[in-house]
Structure 1
Amino acid sequence: MSLPRIAVDAMGGDEGVRVMISGAALARRRHEQFKFLLVGDQARIERALQAHPNMREASEILHCEDVVGGDEKPTQALRRAKTTSMGLAINAVKRGDAGAAVSAGNTGALMAMSKLALRTMPGIDRPALAALMPTLSDNDVIMLDLGANTECDARNLVQFAIMGAAYARIVTVEGAPRVRLLNIGTEETKGTDRLQDAAQMLREATGPSFSFDGFVEADKINRGDVDVVVTDGFSGNIALKAIEGSARFVTDLLKDAFRSSVRSKIGFLISRPATELLRHHLDPNNHNGAVFLGLNGVVVKSHGSANAAGVANAVAVAARLLEENLTERIAADLAELGEARLRENGTVGAEK
């Protein structure tokens, strides 16, 4: 299947051009139909391409030397949206020169530029940052928002749920995803008025596109009992960092334990297949590629420290969302829920 080009901000990320090009090349070795618009310093990109001949015929370079700094404020970055590699990659999506943009650069700047250039979809007030996380079950869990919106009202949370469910039906589950709101308890009486209002709205909106299963506590996010976890960006970012930190803590603890004695080292050799499976499951590169949902276009955020495999995964996420028409799915779900609400109110099908 022929897909639109993917614009890659080759200058973003901790290691920049080398890793971004290596990741794109790895993605293309897995999927030969991928084509790219590589945005960044042409000389550096061409040097990186020398190690990846499979990218030559599939890539076009858009020269740009200006880069958004990792600690640059979004308001500052916006002033250079037309001169930076990040801004030009996003504008390529706006112009139709690319179907999606992938960047490992400054998250706040990427959100600000994407929202300004692509605008939010009709029916969506704010875009949300969504990511996949591993669980104990076969399917990953989608969590949003992870930092794009520190303060949200009930309406925002309902929109996040609709967008997250549409995303889940593409990448994790078939049928109606199980959606829950992150809360301090699972009882219906727990939580703020905002959460209570959102829960009531989601109960009324539950249909073929998703099922609302109430609340979930933070320690149950990765158990595999939920497909989409919805929260505001402030709580979501804290929960994400806590989960990532706990994963690193466990892996580091195991390393120290296996190095503590000769007997432990022998035990490590015996249990190595299991520990390798654990390491693979917890490796953030295997789940790399957060998505800005709710925009009139596909923008994927790769982690700044991602390796080539992680970047390849982010590119694959962008391609799959293009192939599965994520934006159109969200629009259809919004329309379907809107029509259902009208039917409940008796205003659809009534005689004029």
Structure 2
Amino acid sequence: MFKIAVDAMGGDNAPEAIVKGVELARDQMPGVEFLLFGQLDKVKPLVKNAERLQLIQADEVIAMGDEPVKSVRTKKQSSLVLAANAVKAGEADALFSAGNTGALLAAGIFLVGRIKGIDRPALMTILPAFEGEHDAFVMMDVGANAENRPSHLYQYGILGSFYAKEILGYDTPKVGLLNNGSEEDKGDDVHKEAHQLLKHGGAQGYLNFVGNVESREILQGPVDVVVADGFSGNAVLKSIEGTAGELLHLIKQTILHSGLAAKIGGGLLKPSLKGLQDKLDYSKHGGAVVLGVKAPVVKTHGAAGPEAVLSTMLQINTMLEADLVKKVQTFVAEHKEELAARVPGATE
């Protein structure tokens, strides 16, 4: 039976949304036990059915505004740190939180621990694709590392490909490098060298690299894995989030303020608009994953409700059943020298 360590105090709607979401997940995941770390005077009254739920007292909470690394080091009795240490000790198989993203990253990297041979674990998210072969793609890094070396971007291509293949079920995931043009010589020195590393990896059969992609086209689904440095990836992700939210708001306001005919038309279009809203809601695919650490570490949105928590728990369960981390560890161990090697002639 798998065990998921849960930061029950993390998130804007914690612990209510977390407990409700965990209970929804428990009812749909008979092979999973949940370890809820939190302030029991707040958590315990919310539990309706304690079956396969283990409640553990945590005296402290890492707030959204806390400095990530410092809070992980100093708040050792916090719900997040205790949950991460349970994974580190082998008492749980995965870590979940809706709380402070930076703190979860720090806990994942410094407590759960990075996979040997992976230089920089990164944050990966799943986004909708409106055209192309598949209805979703993965993008990483989306904020874990503001600065990256070319080798980091190469490793992101490897990690993202594993996720797309093993979890999303894509046979030969297409990998693209986020850049400011499709030509091979576009971008700064980091991206030019990263392009050569990814191209070299494709030639060796480690991934299916198809070249550069621009931010304006990624939602069309030209690739299954978008490789990005953390700064650019986070900026693109937030631009997509903001544009999607504002677009839906503008459609609604236009209908409401354009007379009776528009309102009638809006009523007729409501099911289609709901479908569009669902398509734009990337949380339905689960949470953001810290790839490159020794166990599944997954973060759902801070404002997540019970349904989003459920989706993320189902995602974690899929990762555990697929034994994703073990497969990555095996690949990295077998190709350690190749992953660390530089392409001859590439610039630093």
TM-score (norm 2): 0.92
Query: What are structure 1's unaligned runs of at least 5 residues?
Result: 346-352
Q: For residues 80-133 of structure 1, what are the alpha-carbon distances to aligned partners after superposition, in whole Å with 9 as ceiling and x for unaligned? A: 342100000111100111100100111111111221112211111111000101
Question: Which residue is equivalent to 2:244?
Answer: 247
Alignment correspondent of 1:152: 148
Question: Which residue is equivalent to 2:115?
Answer: 121
Asked if structure 2 preserves the Cα contact closer than 8 Å seen for 1:150 and 1:233, the reply is yes
Q: Which amino acid aligns with 2:93?
A: G
Equivalent residues of 1:81, 1:88 under 8 A apart = no
Following TM superposition, the consecutive aligned residue runs of length 4 or more in structure 1 with deviations greater than 4 angstroms are 335-342
Which range moves more in the overlay, 333-342 or 69-78? 333-342
Q: What pairs up with 1:83-232 in 2 under 5 angstroms?
A: 83-137=77-131, 138-206=134-202, 207-232=204-229
Q: Which runs of 5+ in 2 are unaligned?
A: 344-348
Aligned residues: 337
**Deviation of 1:43 (Å):** 2.3
1:258 to 235, 255, 259: 255
Q: Which residue of 2 aligns with 1:66?
A: 60
Helix, strand or coil for the counterpart of 2:44?
helix
Letter matched to residue 266 of structure 1: I
Matched position secondary structure for 1:93: helix
CA RMSD of aligned residues (A): 1.8
Whole-Å separation in 2 of the counterparts to 1:240 and 1:341: 27
Deviation at 1:229, TM superposition (A): 0.4
Is the 8 Å Cα contact of residues 181 and 199 (structure 1) preserved in structure 2? yes
Equivalent pair of 2:21/2:309 in contact (CA under 8 Å) = yes
**Given the alignment, which residue of 14, 24, 27 partners 2:25?**
27
Shift of residue 334, structure 1, vs aligned partner: 2.7
Match of 1:349 in 2: none
Give me the whole-angstrom Cα distance separating, in 2, the residues matched to 1:221 and 1:233: 16
Give deviations 1:207-265, integer Å, cap 9, x for gaps.
55520011000011111111000111111110000000010011001111111211111
Q: Which amino acid aligns with 1:225?
A: P
CA distance in 1, matches of 2:220, 2:167: 18
- In 1, Cα distance between equivalents of 2:339 and 2:40: 52
Aligned amino acid, residue 103 of structure 1: S
CA shift, 1:332, in A, is 3.0
Which residue number corresponds to residue 350 of structure 1? none
Residue identity opposite 1:333 in structure 2 = F
Matched, 1:79 2:73: yes
Residue 79 of structure 1 aligns to a residue whose secondary structure is: helix
Where 1:129 maps in the other structure, the secondary structure is strand
Question: How far is 1:78 from its partner?
Answer: 2.2
TM-score (norm 1): 0.91
Matches within 5 A, 1:35-54: 35-50=33-48, 53=49
SS at match of 2:176: strand
Report which stretch shifted further, 40-49 or 152-161: 40-49
Separation in 1 of the partners of 2:75 and 2:45? Answer: 26
1:322 is paired with a residue whose SS is helix
| Percentage identity across paired residues of the two chains | 37
Q: 1:337 Cα deviation (Å)?
A: 4.4
- Aligned AA (1:202): L
